[in-house]
Amino acid sequence: MHSEESIATLFHRHNGVMTRSELARAGLHSRTLQRFITSGWIARPRSGFYEWIADDGPDEIALLLRIFPEGIVCLHSALFVHGYTDRVPNAWHLAVPLNATRSKFCQAYPPVKPHFRTPHSLTLGSTHVEFSGHRVPVYDKERTICDCIAHRNRMDREIFIKAIRAFRSDPKRNIARLMHYAHLLRVKRTASDIIELCP
């Protein structure tokens, strides 16, 4: 019989999220799994995925990383990860491959707003940062600002202006890298004007 401690250890080895097939390979049968779900130790946030919630409640980022391993945090969500906004996004903005299955983004939790990208555009400026105890794939600050400039007419104006100001005052910003990305993403003239004019 599986104890709470052994199952907790099993989930922690998988960053708190496991698939049904992983649980089956570990010998956790349906009846035992259902008992832990009923007891409030395990949740089933999405079909085929199970999350250990007994310690601190659901870990949305851990679930996001398991369900969308090909995704890269972008736009408003990337601003939040980089500390360029304190406004929590109401959905995770993820850059994903152009050929990704659309239906997987339709489920309610965690809330995701996909942005479908070509292979070259998808990898441009991609990096990883430590955020909320996880190594999160995210666009670097310069790519994030270029994306915000490209989507400025669809963004909240206050968030956009604060992000530009935060970038301009960031001692680690790299203007040359920003302009290189802006050239490749075809927003160089606009980026130059916005970065120069924003107080």
Residues of the chain with pLDDT under 70: 1-2, 54-59, 108, 197-199
pLDDT of amino acid 197: 53
CB 146 within 8 A of CB 129: no
For the CA atoms of 103, 106, 73, 117, the dihedral, rounded to the nearest 10 degrees, stands at 40
- Domain locations in the chain? 4-58, 66-197
pLDDT of amino acid 2: 67
pLDDT of amino acid 57: 55
Q: Give the C-alpha separation, 70 to 99, whole Å.
A: 11
pLDDT of amino acid 119: 92
Any idea what the Cα angle at residue 41 is, between residues 70 and 34, rounded to 5°?
A: 90
pLDDT of amino acid 199: 46
Q: Which tokens is 10 given?
A: 């099993």
The secondary structure of the chain in percent helix, strand, coil, rounded to multiples of 5, reads 45, 20, 35
Q: Give the C-alpha separation, 80 to 76, whole Å.
A: 6
Other beta carbons within 10 Å of 73: 29
pLDDT digits (tens, 9 = 90+) for 4-29: 777 777 877 777 777 888 888 888 87
